[in-house]
Amino acid sequence: MASTLYMDRKSPVHRLNPVTKLVILITVIVIVFAIPFWWVAAGVVAVVIVPAAVVSRCGGRLARLGLTILLPIVVVLFIVQGLTFPGGRTALWEWGPLALTTEGLLFALGIGSRIVCLVLASILFVLTTHPGDLLSALTERGMSPKFSYIISSTLQLIPAFRDRADGILLAQQARGLAIGKGLRGRVGAMMPLLAPLVLGMFTDVEERATAMEARGFGSTARRTALTPVPDSTAQRIVRWSMPLVAAAAIVLPLVTGAL
């Protein structure tokens, strides 16, 4: 499906309950931010993310997406912190008034490693979790079905919305609207493009809402699900223990004075 990044594979990671994966993701984020040593983040990447990527057979895509997002961020981070870190004393390389300091680079390493871990974990989550399953699982646990509906339908309707916007642009151009000329910051010139889009949205929403009412969407009965999201006792245990791990990660450094 074009509007999500989900990759359909049959792997143990894909089969995990989405809430399990969500809880693990959040725990990972808490750990790397609570224990801010670069080797903790690197360790998580090596021990949790890379194996998961391999097992789920999404490694290639993860690497490509990760590189596209992270490379610019990391390069800029290293350059900026390397050159301007206030506590920087040990110069590795000098060029006039600018100096690349070890302290700066180490600082960048600390922040960068956490960002890398966070981004890779999030991307992997999205690649292995179907949005429909995630929303189903959350609804089962008490999230409002109306909220879940808004998210799912928005995702699926984005391509249609885009098509309609294209259609409107074509229709107005075919009546002589020259774009470029009209977009000189005048709201009036945008009307031929915006009005049909907004009005169309309202009409659709109204019609769809009525159609959904006709299919019992407003019902107060307890919802059931046709295709249940798989779960297991083992996963339940993992989900309950994750918050404890996260709590430990926060408390441990304070207690041992390692920070």
SS3 category, 89: coil
Q: Which amino acid is at 158?
A: I
- 187 is a site residue for another protein (CB under 8 A): no
Alpha-carbon gap, residue 217 to 224, rounded angstroms: 12
Among 7, 69, 77, 157, interactor with another protein by CB under 8 A: 157
Alpha-carbon gap, residue 175 to 189, rounded angstroms: 14
Task: For another protein, give the closer residue by CB, 40 or 134.
Answer: 134
Which phi and psi angles does 92 have, rounded to 5°? Answer: -95, -25
Number of neighbours of residue 169 by Cβ within 10 angstroms: 16
Among 170, 237, 252, 254, interactor with another protein by CB under 8 A: 170
Q: Which amino acid is at 183?
A: L
How many amino acids of this chain bind another protein (CB under 8 A)?
A: 56
Taking the mean position of all CA atoms in its chain, how far away is CA 73? Answer: 16
Q: Cβ 126 to another protein, closest distance in Å?
A: 15
Among 86, 97, 174, 186, interactor with another protein by CB under 8 A: 174
Stretch that binds another protein, among 40-48, 57-65, 88-96, 172-180 (CB under 8 A): 172-180
Interface mask toward another protein for 193-232; x: CB under 8 A? xxxx--xx--xx--xx-xxxxxxxxxx-xxxxxxxx----
In order of 82, 103, 147, the CA distances from 34 in angstroms are: 24, 21, 31
Q: Cβ 161 to another protein, closest distance in Å?
A: 11
Q: Cβ 231 to another protein, closest distance in Å?
A: 15
CB 147 within 8 A of CB 141: no
Interface residues toward another protein, by CB under 8 A: 1, 130, 132, 145, 148-149, 152-154, 156-157, 159-160, 164, 167-168, 170-179, 191-196, 199-200, 203-204, 207-208, 210-219, 221-228
